[in-house]
Amino acid sequence: MGDKKSSEASLLAEVWEQHLKSEFELKDADAAIDTMTDHPVLIHVPVCAGASGREALRSFYANVFIPQMPHDIELKPLSRTIGQDRIVDEFILKFTHTIQMDWFLPGIVPTGRVLEVPHVGIISFIGDKINSEHIYWDQGTVLFQLGLISSDSVPVCGVETARLLIDQSNTFNPLMKKSGR
């Protein structure tokens, strides 16, 4: 029984890794869609970007997501949990904001700033195909790193969020310290 579960988990991980490779290395929308069900869904939760349905999602990948990906974009994995029909990935997305990115920062012109943003992806499967991707990040952290909001006006951290996840010996509670707590 354990071998079967291990084999199923391995298959899900393989499909997800192929999907990521299709997007970030091959930059091939059709290859990404080939890893998905007949009616896949992608939601970039903080900005309500994505698509529902095979052709709409292929178009989103081909016309928005892939061409609006900065040249230096990288995913730094932090953790992965694999369940019966789901993968939960925690990772840092790092890039220089050199290009319009409507899937991530709709309407924001390139700033040239380097961003390091913690993400969580919840990927559900039907059989050996991806059925949905729900991608979460803290948009406050993004806007702070871009200089569009200040921690003087709202309680928000910047790159410290990513750095603390990578190295837990970094400073905890910087906003409480700033407020004298």
At residue 155, the pLDDT reads 87
At residue 180, the pLDDT reads 59
Domain assignment of residue 91, yes or no: yes
∠ CA 159-163-169, nearest 5°, is: 140
Write out the chain's pLDDT in tens, 181 residues: 456 667 787 999 999 999 999 999 999 999 999 999 999 999 999 999 999 999 999 999 999 999 999 999 999 999 999 999 999 999 999 999 999 999 999 999 999 999 999 999 999 999 999 999 999 999 999 999 999 998 888 888 889 889 888 888 877 777 776 665 5
Record the pTM: 0.90
Domain assignment of residue 150, yes or no: yes
Q: Which domain holds residue 89?
A: 2-172
Domain assignment of residue 179, yes or no: no
Domain assignment of residue 7, yes or no: yes
Domain assignment of residue 120, yes or no: yes
At residue 172, the pLDDT reads 78
At residue 5, the pLDDT reads 65
How far is it, in rounded angstroms, from Cα 133 to Cα 45?
Answer: 10
At residue 4, the pLDDT reads 65
Q: Which amino acid is at 123?
A: I
> What are the tokens at 162?
């990513």
At residue 6, the pLDDT reads 72
* Number of domains observed in the structure of the chain: 1
Domain assignment of residue 177, yes or no: no
Pairing of the two strands 86-96 and 49-52: unpaired
At residue 168, the pLDDT reads 81
At residue 70, the pLDDT reads 97
| Those residues with Cβ within 8 angstroms of residue 135's Cβ, 6 or more apart along the chain or in another chain | 42, 43, 44, 45, 119, 120, 121
* CATH number for position 63: 3.10.450.50
How far is it, in rounded angstroms, from Cα 98 to Cα 112?
Answer: 5
HEC string of 10-44 equals HHHHHHHHHHHHHHHHCCCHHHHHCCEEEEEEEEE
- E-strand stretches of 22-128: 36-44, 49-52, 74-82, 86-96, 114-126
